[in-house]
Amino acid sequence: MFRALTANLIAHERIETTDAKAKELRRVAERLITKVIRLGPVAYTPQKDLDASGKARRIAVEQRIGRFLRRFAVVQRGGESRRVDLIEKVFLDLAKRFRDRPGGYTRIIKLGRRRGDNAPMSLVEFVELGAEGSSGTPSKAKGKAKPKAGAAAAAEKAEAADGAKAEKSEKPKRAKKPKAESETDE
């Protein structure tokens, strides 16, 4: 099950699943990416430019990841379907995108409850999405600015939620006080 979830996460870069599966998927996907990143530049250097030891290291990691991931996936975008080589995508795209990142390649966003069985749902996605980083290597300034903006937005949402909770907690107290006063007056 986690092989299929990991393959879909790599192919689509964002999937929706239950909270429990999302937490386990994060662990599995990040371990795969870390194995590739540990190769260093060997991971995303073209095969013809590698020396014999680099080729051997890359093939060994490709085989190890190939035992876990399926080789190809079909991605549909805009009514058009295309076949994606997942192992090549991990090596060329994800390893290059996350090469300067020490870990935490995925994020989990809680979505709420699923209709029908009331299961908690989450969105699992890569921290730096492919559309943003596809033009080349993302600069450090870009990578740092986006999480801050996300953190600021999350902080604003948290403040708004705290304010709403404070308002909700005040309203029942006001309703209870008159009842208590009317009982003591009688």
For 40-92, the pLDDT digits (tens) are 888 888 888 999 999 999 999 999 999 999 888 888 888 899 999 999 999 98
Say how many Å lie between the first and final Cα of the chain, rounded: 66
* Six-digit token string for 58: 């890359």
Pair of tokens at residue 44:
């995303």
d(C-alpha 153, C-alpha 61), whole Å:
39
> For the domain 2-135, what is the CATH superfamily, name and number?
Ribosomal protein L17 (3.90.1030.10)
pTM beyond 0.85: the answer is: no
pLDDT band, residue 111 (cuts 50/70/90): very high
Residue 161 has pLDDT above 60, yes or no: no
